[in-house]
Amino acid sequence: MTSEQLDIEFKTAVNRVNDHTEPFPADFLLRLYAYFKKATNNYDRPSSRKPIINAFKTNALFQVKNISQDEAKQEYINLVNNYFLYRK
C-alpha cells in the first residue's frame, strides 16, 4: 500500500470513529488514542482533568513508542475495521 493510500484509509477510519454515536469501550479508546497520536506525530501531553486518565493515556503512548508513524496508521485502521466488523 502506498503512503497516499494509507493516509486515505487512515482518514476514513478516523471519520468512522468520529461519526459513531455510541460509546466505545475504554480499552479500545486508549489504543485508538495512542495510535492516533503516534500516527499524527502529536506529542502533546494528555490533558484530562483527572490524573488517572492522564496516567492511562501516558501508558498507552509508551506502549506504541517503538513503532513508526505508518505502522501506527495501519494499526489504527485495523482496530477500527475489526471493531465495526464484529459489531454487526
Domains of the chain: 3-15+26-85 (1.20.80.10)
pLDDT of residue 25: 93
Over residues 33-48, mean pLDDT:
88
72 compared with 46, residue with greater pLDDT: 72
pLDDT at 19 over 80: yes
The string of pLDDT tens digits covering residues 66-83 is 999 999 999 999 999 999
pLDDT at 8 over 80: yes
Separation CA 42–CA 62 (nearest Å): 13
Instruction: Please check whether residue 39 is in contact with residue 69, taking contact to mean a CB–CB distance below 8 angstroms.
Output: yes
DSSP the chain: --HHHHHHHHHHHHHHHHH--SPPPHHHHHHHHHHHHHHTT--PPP--SSHHHHHHHHHHHHHTTTS-HHHHHHHHHHHHHHHHHTT-
pTM: 0.90
